[in-house]
Structure 1
Amino acid sequence: MRNTEEAEGFDGEASNTSMISGASSPYQPTTEPVHSRNVLGGIRCDFEYLKSHFGILKAVEVALALIAFICIETIMLCLPCGGVYFFEFVSCSAFVITGVLLLIFSLSLHTKVPHVNWSLTDLVNTAASTFFFFLASVVLAALNHKSGAEIAAVIFGFLVTCVYAVNTFLAVKRWRMGDGRSVAVQTSEYMRARTASRGEMEARPDLA
């Protein structure tokens, strides 16, 4: 009987000890269900941007760049092929980069990375695409103008060049009107916050 009571006592003490240690342990298992965590982080479709001038122009740019790329890909025989390869590279690059920017702006992903100047990024992309699409279209028209696919690629190349040029003009106008002031405001706010933080550090008493 004593052995049984001692064993029960040891078991009770062990269970109490485990409960106390478990309660005082800082490594407690989380009770938050996995499915309740917001993985998307508030991603939403910005229909206002898609209805704006920039959204419409960017969608047209993606569509025309894709059509130009498809036209140049249908060319089976070229002589010389330098203009064809250059136009193929430009159209594919413009389609991918502009498509990614359209996806970022339409899903408001640019708000998740506020440290990047997205307006300037869009301006650089549109300006570069205008220049390279115009150059590739001129080279393709001068060197390769025999087949129907080459003529179609040149036509769509000049069309998308015009759309990129309009987008560049509007982007420059937006940059001059708003983004210059916004950068100045952000810089002044950063300097003000930094000065305030330094003042708090100096005003904090020494613990030693």
Structure 2
Amino acid sequence: MENGAPVYADTTVPAEQPPGKGPRCTGCTADNLGARRLALKASQLALSFLAFLCEEIVQHCSSCGGLYFFEFVSCSAFLLNIPILVTYCTSLYERTGKEKVATVVFGFLATITFCVDAVLMYLKRRKAEEERKTENPANTLNPTENQPLNN
């Protein structure tokens, strides 16, 4: 204290980050893939989406089997690339490990399909209830049902 030293000295030292790993305020990083593979995955995502859109533009075809297969492949590539990129570019990759990435991706897709199925079932039930209400809202009888049987 006499020589100008502070009363309380720092008790912790900031942790050093490994080289190449910058601060992740957004949770996204390219460290797991590297810049080249990240660019390749992003271009795969963009091109598969573009291929799917181009296929939807086609209105007439003479042999549609190949076109439907192309649609399936391009749409599948697009939908599989999204969770793969999310897994590799977030901290989820460090938590799950390299060998479990495919499991995480298919878990995402299964969860999404179950949610879509639940929403579709809810909408179908709601539509059926609305149709039942509009069929006979006041339970009024038809004019022929109000007539006596023997006329």
**Could you tell me the TM-score, scaled by structure 1's length?**
0.34
**Going by fraction, where is helix more abundant, 1 or 2?**
1
**Could you tell me the TM-score, scaled by structure 2's length?**
0.46
